[in-house]
Structure formats: structure tokens, C-alpha cells
Amino acid sequence: MKRLLSLLLLAALPALAAQPSLNVYFQSTLKDPAYQKKVFQKVASTWQAPASFPKVGKKCVVQAVISRDGRVQNAFVSMESGVKAWDKASLAAVEKASPFPPLPSTYEHKTLEAHFHVAVVP
């Protein structure tokens, strides 16, 4: 019995130690790391973890189109984590973070696509 309990506790440890992780991937035409950092920080500051987490290794991907003035023109969940509350919180963080700073003057395009990956890591 003690051995079974130990195995169960060991199996639960990764879930207890799991934490959210945010990564942002920008359209390759953006070469401004300072802008990328500002967008990342703004979304990270608005993201609020829901009560239920997906399994470790699962993630939600939110795709967003950012206009020249920094507003999010369009955002949607393109990959679901398996936990609706997690996906909803991820989308809400991107939407609440808008507007971002205006796109850099050196950026030649009218919009910028960004993919926000909100995962659960050990």
C-alpha cells in the first residue's frame, strides 16, 4: 500500500509543479526585438490563469493581426488546449493587451501577424 501511495504522489508531482508559459512568434518581416519584447510584456501582464489547467505539454495558440496603430484587428484561437477556460483566458489576454505600441516606423507592412502560445510546462 505504501508503495502505491508513493507512486501516486510521484505521478502527481509534475502536475503540481506545472506552470503557464507564454511564447510569442512574430511574422518574419519584423526585425525589431524591442517591439517584440513590449508586445510580449503587455500580454504577459494581462494574462490571468484560470482555475483549471490543461495537461502538461498542451497549449493554446492565439493568432492576432496587429494594425499599424497597435490595435488588434483580429484575434482567434487557432489551436485549443483541451480546456476551454484556458483558451478563453489566453484569447482574453491578447484582446485586453490591445492596443500595443504602434508598429515601428521601419516596419514596411500595414499589419503584423503574431502567434501567442500559452502552454503548461513542468
- For 19-69, what is each residue's pLDDT tens digit? 899 999 999 999 999 999 999 999 999 999 999 999 999 999 999 999 999
pTM for this prediction: 0.84
Q: Do the domain assignments include residue 7?
A: no
Residue whose C-alpha cell is 521601419: 106
Please check whether residue 63 lies inside any domain of the structure: yes
| Domains in the chain, number | 1
Chain-centroid distance of CA 98 in Å reads 14
Strands 59-67 and 19-26: unpaired
Residue type, 98: S
pLDDT in tens, 64-97: 999 999 999 999 999 999 999 999 999 999 999 9
Give residue for cell 524591442. Answer: 34
User: Helices 33-46 & 84-97, crossing angle to 10 degrees?
Assistant: 130
In angstroms, the CA 70 to CA 11 distance is: 44
Q: Which domain holds residue 27?
A: 17-121
Query: pLDDT band at 18, cuts 50/70/90?
Result: confident
Structural domain contains residue 10:
no
pLDDT bin (cut points 50, 70, 90) of residue 17 is low
- Residue 62 domain flag: yes
Residue 51 falls within a domain, yes or no? yes
What's the CATH code of the domain at 25? 3.30.1150.10
